[in-house]
Amino acid sequence: MTLRALLFDLDDTLYGYAPCNEAALTAAYAILRARAPVSPTEFRATHDVVRAELARELHGQAASHNRALFFKRIVERLVGPGEGSLAIELFDTYWSAFLAEMRPAPDAHEVLAKLKGRYELALVSNHTTDIQLRKLRALNFERFFPVVVTSEEAGVEKPDAHIFELALRALGVNADEALMIGDSPAVDLRGACNAGVPCILSRQFSAPELAGDAPETTIASLSELPDWLRRR
C-alpha cells in the first residue's frame, strides 16, 4: 500500500522536553519560594510525588498531565489550602518559562516542509489540547499540522488505538497508508501497533529500550527521516 500520511508525536520527538521542564520548574519554584520557606529539594520531591499520584489516579486521562492540578496539590501541601491564586500563578509561570525555552529539533522546519509536500501530516499527542497547541505555536509548527489530535479530545491516551484512529479518519487514510514517528516504545510504538500503523522510533531526545513489537526502524535524528522514506 502506498504511504500517504505521517503521524508525529510531539514531546521528545520534535523538540526536547527535559530542558524546557527544568527551566519551567525553576521559574515556578522562584515564585513559590517568595511565598513560603520551601527548599528546592522539598519542592522537587513534592512535585514528583504529586506527579506520580495524578498519573495513578487519572491513568489514561489527559488530566493526568494538567499542571494546574500539579500546582494545586503542591500549594496545598507546602503552603496550605485556600491558595488557588498562587496555584494559578505557578501554572502560568511554569508554562511561560517552558514555552520560552522550547527549541525545535535541528532541521525540523526543513524536514517537515519537505514531508508536507509529499504526505498528509498529523500530530498525535498525549496531553491537554490548549498546551499542545501553544507548543506548536511556540515552535512555529502550526503550518505543518492541519490535523492535531490530543488525548484530551480522544478521551483516551496512547497506546489506546482510538487516538490514532481519530487522526487517520481526519486525514482520510487507512492504517496501512500511514506511519507513526515517536520516541516511546510503550506509548508510540505499542499504540501505533494497536491501530495497525507501522512506527519509527526516534532516539534524538531519548534512548528507549526496545521491548515487544519491533519498530519499522529507528532514527538518531529527525533529519534522517526523509532519506529513509525515499529508500523504503
> 11 catalytic, yes or no?
yes
- Residue showing cell 529507528: 218
Rounded to whole angstroms, the Cα distance separating 201 from 13 reads 9
pLDDT at 206: 82
Catalytic residue among 11, 12, 183, 188: 11
Q: What is the mean pLDDT of residues 173-195?
A: 95
Instruction: Please report, as a single letter, which amino acid is at residue 226.
Output: P
Q: What is the mean pLDDT of residues 121-125?
A: 98
> 9 catalytic, yes or no?
yes
Cis peptide leading into residue 159 (ω within 30°): yes
- DSSP type of residue 209: P
Rounded to whole angstroms, the Cα distance separating 83 from 73 reads 10
Q: Quickly count: other Cβ atoms within 10 Å of residue 211's Cβ.
A: 10
* Residue 198, pLDDT above cutoff 70: yes
Catalytic residue among 9, 12, 160, 183: 9
| Sign of the dihedral through C-alpha 210, 215, 219, 223 | negative
* Residue 229, pLDDT above cutoff 90: yes
Superfamily of domain 5-16+103-231: HAD superfamily/HAD-like (3.40.50.1000)
At 86, the pLDDT band (50, 70, 90 cuts) reads: very high
